[in-house]
Amino acid sequence: MYEFSHQNPTSVDEAASALSSADDGKVMAGGQTLIPTMKQRLAAPSDVIDLSKVEGLRGIRRDGDNIVIGAMTRHVDVATSDLVQSAIPALAALAGGIGDPAVRNRGTMGGSVANNDPAADYPGAVVGLGATVRTNKREIAADDFFTGLFETALDEDEILTEISFPIPSGRAAYAKFPNPASRYAIVGAFVAETGGGVRVAITGAGACVFRVGAWEQALGGNFSADAITDGAVDEGEMNADMHAGADYRAHLCGVMARRAVQAAG
């Protein structure tokens, strides 16, 4: 690990100021990704802006027909929240399947979403539910937030503060084919009936989370596993690594989408 300056702001404004004034600052939430990459010397930020003492970034509340979750809320708190379990049980179940107990007790929702690992689970829920990402500057629709491999719409001095998840108007579920070691998604599918129609979000398969319009349209007319047909996902756009080839991931997209529909039904 290279030398760096550790900043401990107590407000979002202080954190944003520290980030904008740093030569190469990085925001740290739970540290589940940043710390290991720094230990391996794959990242060498000049400053680490630690959000652990920033007030107002934790907590879960209901706001009308939405569940709003603070960026520094841990996975375990989302998984065990009575509010989330009753309003959006699919989101609670997703959070409960992230990593292992050590990861769930340290990792945060905002850290995962802002990092946008292609195999992370939360992006599936954010896009699958049509959530709104809120920062210290603005609101960003889910469909506009994830832009590529480890890339998001966040500006360099922008900090994710909370995410507002619409409560589904009907059924919703998440199904994941996990890497047996890391529990990251080789492929995960989040399916939800929302006020704007059925949404199908796939994570783990491509450079970042994406929707499958053909399946959304088919499920809108027939919400059953039989509506998920093969060939809707382009094999050429899938990830390929030692865990799964592109053709296998394309096949798994359909398998996991069917399982999500079955779980929702």
Summarised one tens digit per residue, pLDDT across range 63-82 is: 999 999 999 999 999 999 99
- The rounded mean pLDDT for the chain is 96
Q: Is the pLDDT of residue 1 over 90?
A: no
Q: Looking at the DSSP assignment, which residues form a beta bridge with residue 70?
A: 162
Q: Is the pLDDT of residue 155 over 90?
A: yes
DSSP string, 75-114: HHHHHH-HHHHHH-HHHHHHHHTSS-HHHHTT-BHHHHHH
Closest to 115 (Cα-Cα) out of 24, 34, 4: 34
DSSP string, 119-163: T-SHHHHHHHTT-EEEESS-EEEHHHHEEETTEES--TT--EEEE
Q: Looking at the DSSP assignment, which residues form a beta bridge with residue 198?
A: 193
3-state secondary structure of 181: coil
CB 45 within 8 A of CB 24: yes
Closest to 67 (Cα-Cα) out of 109, 9, 5: 109
**What residue ranges define each of the domains in the chain, with the CATH number in brackets?**
5-44 (no CATH), 60-264 (3.30.465.10)
Q: Is the pLDDT of residue 49 over 90?
A: yes
Summarised one tens digit per residue, pLDDT across range 119-153 is: 999 999 999 999 999 999 999 999 999 999 999 99
Mean pLDDT value across residues 11-31: 92
